Amino acid sequence: MREPHNAFSRCLPHIRAPENDSTWSLSFPKSFPSLHAVSDSDNDPLSSLLSSFALGPSWARAAGTPQDRTPKPAPPSEDRPPQREFRDRGRGRDSGGRDAGGRDSGGRDTGGRSSPRQNSKFDTRRPAPPRDEEAAPAEGVRVILAPDPQAVHLIGKEVQHVARVYPLYDVAKILLAERARCRAIFEALVPHPPLFSGKIDESVFLTRDEALRHLWQSDLRNQFIEEATIEVDPPTGNFQSVARCGISGEWLGPPNFHAYQVNLRRLHRERFAHLPFAVYSAKVRTERGEDAVNAWLDTTKIKTRWRLKDDADDAWIEDRAEAERALGTRCLDQAFAEVRVADVLASIAPSHLSPSLLTSLQLAGNHARNHPAILIPAVCRAAEAEHLPVFKRQGKLLTGPARPHPLPVGAVLAERPSIMVNWIRANKPAKLEGLWKAVLPEGGTAPPAEFAADLFWLLHQGHILLFTDDTLHVQEVRQPSESEDDGPPKPPKSKKKRLPKSARQHPTDLPPDSVDLPDTADLPDTADLPDTADLPDTADLPDTADLPDTADLPDTADLPDTTDLPDTADLPDTADLPDTTEHTPPAELFKNPSAEVDVSPSL
């Protein structure tokens, strides 16, 4: 039990520990001791002065010292229930305080009741700052994981070297085991603004300010700007305390120094922007003493200045903020480009990504590890780019050194391949270890090199499949099923042309006029229609290839208008005209068209 350390603690009830681990009890003193401060005097000079004003009620103006007044006796502990406030307040933090789960330090369940100190308005303890909250995922940006081509190339070399068949599901799990084996593709969807992708290093940021902050804090700054340090005089003044960052330990200066707020804001913006400013400022501590002040003064003796490499030799910039603005205005476009799609390695450093993009990448990686099948389409494309065959067997996609090629039962093979094939067919499921034991000579421990070379040839030809669990399988010729032997083969089904989604209509979306359509009962009976067998055979029709080309016909626009021709009803009947067979024009007319021939008597 901690001993009382002041006069007020002697007014608290005394806690008596039980002798047999039963119930704790409280006992109150008969009288409370008088309270005196260290600097109090018996003759207060202000006592008579204040009493002359007659302030307060009569009981407060009673003359007499506190020692003359007798306190009200406290009732016995057995007649009065114990006060929870005093009981809990008497227990210090080191003597059985309760935790958030409703248990004290002894492990006893207290029913979830909190300490009165936590609910008291007189609690002077400084609350702890809130924990760092993770940034929310970026809205409007899609993150896609794809296998890294270099990782797929190494897997392809391994497949060809060991001549085994791997399921693509297992290949996807192998790629997702490490972030360096995948690529992260960030795609900014419309109307999201474009992303800032680094031209020199792999970095992606959402805003221009984040890209500029990365350019200033990374080693890329040395490619565009020069930095130099000079010695200056330290500030003068009477400084008693100095503020210091509680995270990095950097000196910020005295709280009353003119550059204190500037340094505080700068350090938060450069290194701890992921924390709210109120949370970061709560971590700043103040140190007193001559050593702390001298340590801060030593940091102010050195001043840094900057100059862009394309500027003159004397164009130094003293202000840090001005140097950042000059770097962003003139050099940011050389280091970053605005893009809609950014492709980076999934093991990118967190400092090269915006906090929101980093959260989105973590969520996408966790989802892919829980569901590796979503990476199989990308693995298929990557395997085909490495010339790895992809085939399907028993509903699973596999890849191996070669595509399976059936081996007929009666195929003629050499002696050693024939022995291995016959043993695998006779010992299903065949294991690689059993095969070597069957072909090993007596007393041998290692597989014969000749048999190993022949098996390697069979594996690369696709006649035998070696799976990851050392199971060997001979690729047999597929036998047609009984249903395929009965009857002629079925014609292939024609694919129905589906309308686009925009042209499809739900029955409820039909126009209101559709209810006025005629009833199908009123339509004519199809039995009354003529039989198609009575129609002429289309084979007797002339071939359209023999018809003249319509392109050679004259244009109808050049023909005279038929409306200007005389009506045929007004013309004389051709039966009344004389016979022209007896009046043939003389032959001289055809020889000399310009000669005049008199044919009027004949007419």
What integer pLDDT is reported at residue 568 of this predicted model? 65
The model's confidence at residue 28, banded by pLDDT at 50, 70 and 90, is very low
* C-alpha pair distances (Å), 309 with each of 305, 315, 435, 592: 13, 10, 72, 102
Domain extents for the chain? Answer: 1-35+62-97, 233-300, 402-474
pLDDT above 60 for 128: no
Q: Residue 207's pLDDT band (boundaries 50, 70, 90)?
A: very high
What is the bridge-based pairing of β-strands 14-16 and 341-345? unpaired
72-81, 134-143, 467-476: which has the minimum mean pLDDT?
72-81
Position 325 pLDDT exceeds 60: yes
Q: What are phi and psi of 397, to 5 degrees?
A: -85, 130
409 within 8 A of 202, measured Cβ to Cβ:
no
Helices (H), 76-163: 84-90, 116-119, 149-162
How far does Cα 506 stand from its chain's mean position? 36
For the cut 50, the answer to whether the pLDDT of residue 164 exceeds it is yes
Task: Give the residue-averaged pLDDT of 174-181.
Answer: 93
Least confident of 187-201, 300-314, 428-442, 519-533: 519-533
Instruction: Give me the mean pLDDT over the 295-300 stretch.
Output: 87
Helices (H), 127-207: 149-162, 168-176
The span from the CA of 368 to the CA of 372, in Å, is 5
**The residue type at 251:** W
Q: Quick check: 598 pLDDT over 60?
A: no
Q: What is the mean pLDDT of residues 41-57?
A: 41
Give me the mean pLDDT over the 545-556 stretch.
Answer: 69
Report phi then psi at 536, rounded to 5. Answer: -65, 150
- Flag whether pLDDT at 281 surpasses 70: yes
At 372-412, the pLDDT tens digits run 999 999 999 999 999 999 999 888 999 999 999 999 888 88
Do 415 and 422 meet the contact criterion of CB atoms below 8 Å apart?
no
Gap between the Cα atoms of 470 and 463, Å rounded: 16
Pick the range with the lowest mean pLDDT from 89-93, 276-280, 294-298, 502-506: 89-93
The whole-angstrom separation of Cα 323 and Cα 311 is: 12
Mean pLDDT throughout 226-254? Answer: 88
pLDDT at 392: 92
**pTM given for the model:** 0.54
The arithmetic mean of pLDDT across residues 116-143, rounded, is 65
- CATH number for the region 402-474 comes to 1.10.10
Tokens representing 434?
A: 């059993």
Beta strands at 396-399 and 166-167: parallel, antiparallel or unpaired: antiparallel
Task: Give me the pLDDT at residue 175, please.
Answer: 94
Question: What phi, psi does 285 have (nearest 5°)?
Answer: -115, 155
Task: Give the list of residues 6+ apart from residue 388 with CB closer than 8 angstroms, or none.
Answer: 156, 159, 399, 400
Tokens 């900057």 identify what position? 306
- Please report, rounded to a whole number, the percentage of residues in the chain having pLDDT higher than 70: 59
Per-residue pLDDT at 600 exceeds 50: no
The CA-CA-CA angle for residues 276, 278, 284, to 5°, reads 110
Question: How far apart are the two ends of the chain, measured CA to CA in Å?
Answer: 159
pLDDT score for 7 = 41
pLDDT of residue 502: 62
Task: Name residues whose C-beta falls within 8 Å of residue 242's C-beta, 6 or more positions apart in sequence.
Answer: 251, 252, 253, 254, 286, 287, 288, 292, 293, 295, 296
pLDDT band at 11 (very low <50, low <70, confident <90, very high): very low
How many residues in the chain? 603
Q: Which residues contact 226 (CB under 8 A, 6 or more apart)?
A: 306, 307, 308, 309
Confidence of residue 304 (pLDDT cuts 50, 70, 90): confident
Amino acid at 70: T
For residue 313, the number of C-alpha atoms closer than 13 Å in the C-beta half-sphere is 0
Amino acid 71: pLDDT: 54
Question: Could you tell me the CA-to-CA distances from 332 to 195, 213, 328 in Å, in that order?
Answer: 14, 10, 5
Q: Where are the beta strands (DSSP E) in 257-371?
A: 285-288, 302-308, 336-339, 341-345
Q: Which residues pair with 465 in a beta bridge?
A: 473
Compute the distance between CA of residue 398 and CA of residue 393 in angstroms, rounded to an integer. 7
Highest mean pLDDT among 7-11, 52-56, 108-112, 249-253 belongs to: 249-253
Indicate whether 47 pLDDT > 70: no
Q: Is the peptide bond before 191 cis (omega within 30 degrees of 0)?
A: yes
Least confident interval from 33-47, 224-238, 431-445:
33-47
Q: Using CA atoms, how far apart are residues 539 and 487, in angstroms rounded to an integer?
A: 32
570: tokens are 């007004």
Query: Which two structure tokens, joined as six digits, stand for 50?
Result: 């204040």
Query: By mean pLDDT, which of 29-33, 71-75, 170-174, 509-513 is the weakest?
Result: 29-33
The three-class DSSP label of residue 337 is: strand
pLDDT at 355: 92
Rounded distance, CA 398 to CA 467, Å? 10
Which pLDDT value is given to residue 75? 52
Residue 167 has pLDDT above 60, yes or no: yes
Residue 555 pLDDT greater than 60, yes or no: yes
pLDDT at 590: 43
Say what the pLDDT of residue 462 is: 92
Question: Confidence band (pLDDT; 50, 70, 90) for 21?
Answer: very low
Tens of pLDDT along 73-114? Answer: 555 544 455 554 444 444 444 444 444 444 444 444 444 444
Give the Cα separation of 435 and 418 in Å (integer). 13
Tell me which amino acid residue 543 is: D
* Residue tagged 């804001």 (tokens): 265
Confirm if 132 and 274 have CB atoms less than 8 A apart.
yes
Q: How far apart are CA 376 and CA 145, in angstroms?
A: 11
The one-letter code for the residue type at 381 is R
**Residue 8: pLDDT over 50:** no
Mean pLDDT of 536-540: 69
580 alpha carbon, distance to own chain's centre = 100
Beta strand ranges found along 375-470 (DSSP E): 390-393, 396-399, 430-431, 464-466
- Least confident range from 166-170, 365-369, 586-590: namely 586-590
The average pLDDT across 357-373 equals 94
